[in-house]
Amino acid sequence: MAGIFITFEGGEGSGKTTQIRRLADALAAHGLDVVTTREPGGTPGADAIRHVVLSGAARHLGPQMEGVLFAAARADHLEVVIRPALARGAVVLCDRFHDSTRVYQASDDPEEGAFLARLEWATLNGVGPDLTIILDVPAEIGAERARLRRQEAKADRFEEEDLSVQVERRERFLAIARSEPERCVVIDGQGDADEIAQDVLAAVEDRLDLDRLVKNRERQGS
Ligand SMILES: Nc1ncnc2c1ncn2[C@@H]1O[C@H](COP(=O)(O)OP(=O)(O)O)[C@@H](O)[C@H]1O
Ligand SMILES: Cc1cn([C@H]2C[C@H](O)[C@@H](COP(=O)(O)OP(=O)(O)O)O2)c(=O)[nH]c1=O
């Protein structure tokens, strides 16, 4: 693919939305074509699935079938938004992607795990992130930030769960980073948002060849 695909992962309130916005501004200032998007969602079909899953209407489904819904939303998003953007040479910044399914729909049952792995393979169909930024914050901090952000709005189906579940999810994200160090970078999400943005940009510049895209853009423009 001509473009670059970067995903942001981490628990709720870890700062994904904030940092995606800042990275998008920094990359656009380099003259790059930047697409920001999120999961579940990013297309009308995926947004409809988002509503079904996050409202809690399908809370009885269990991890495998919940994984199927997230996978269907992801397949639509890939087809309609992500693949075309990568094909034209854009940088795609996506708030959550397949690692969120690995973490949130994780199962201790080996057969369920094998099913979800196969589902992931079929959904991605050869397209995956070039880089994944995992924003790491203690679960209590993420939950408190999310609570402040929400104010009057209702918690979604996953935010309602106990802090111990959020602690487990943090561990699962860190385990993914350990198992795929060439793809994943863990960045401390505590502290000042501007400093975190500098760490994120440094990781992107270190791991990816942005110059190639800038030169392609210049060639297209001339
Ligand atoms: N580094 C930071 N320090 C303090 N608050 C932050 C920081 N980054 C984000 N926030 C605030 O925390 C809340 C959640 O951040 P957000 O970027 O929406 O996280 P996420 O998308 O991971 O849920 C928002 O109200 C945001 O303004
Ligand atoms: C993409 C994805 C999200 N989710 C969950 C994680 C979040 O709780 C929710 C998305 O909510 P959202 O409000 O977009 O995220 P955040 O908590 O980062 O602000 O969906 C899954 O369970 N599986 C998935 O594959």
**Tens digits of per-residue pLDDT, 129-172?**
999 999 999 999 999 998 898 876 777 888 878 899 999 999 99
Q: How far is the CA of 95 from the centre of ligand 2 (A)?
A: 9
Using 50, 70 and 90 to split pLDDT, how confident is the model at 64?
Answer: very high
**154 appears as a binding residue in the annotation:** no
Q: Does residue 222 form part of some domain?
A: no
**11 appears as a binding residue in the annotation:** yes
**Among 8, 9, 12, which residue has the most ligand 2 atoms within 8 Å of its CB, making it the best to mutate?**
12
pTM for the whole structure: 0.96
136 Cβ inside 6 Å of ligand 1: no
Tokens representing 186 are 């863990």
Q: How far is the CA of 148 from the centre of ligand 1 (A)?
A: 9
Q: Does residue 71 form part of some domain?
A: yes
For 85-124, write each residue's pLDDT tens digit: 999 999 999 999 999 999 999 988 999 999 999 999 999 9
The Cα–Cα gap between 88 and 170 comes to 34
For 171-203, write each residue's pLDDT tens digit: 999 999 999 999 999 999 999 999 999 999 999
Q: Does residue 219 form part of some domain?
A: no
CA atoms within 13 A on the CB side of 137: 24
Is the ipTM higher than 0.90? The answer is yes
**13 appears as a binding residue in the annotation:** yes
Max distance between CA atoms of the chain, in angstroms, equals: 56
Q: Which atom of ligand 2 is nearest to the CA of 104?
A: 22
- Our count of domains for the chain comes to 1
With residue 32 as reference, give the H or E element that holds it: none
Q: Does residue 220 form part of some domain?
A: no
Q: Does residue 29 form part of some domain?
A: yes
**What is the pLDDT at residue 153?**
72
Q: Which atom of ligand 1 is nearest to the CA of 190?
A: 1
Which CATH number characterizes residue 129's domain? 3.40.50.300
**What is the pLDDT at residue 152?**
63
Which amino acid residue places its CA nearest to atom 19 of ligand 2?
A: 12
Sheet holding 4-9, edge to edge: 34-38, 91-95, 4-9, 131-136, 184-188
Q: How far is the CA of 100 from the centre of ligand 2 (A)?
A: 7
DSSP 136-205: E--HHHHHHHHHHHHTTSPP-TTTTS-HHHHHHHHHHHHHHHHH-TTTEEEEE--S-HHHHHHHHHHHHH
Q: Does residue 31 form part of some domain?
A: yes
Q: Which domain holds residue 38?
A: 4-214
Residue 35 three-state SS: strand
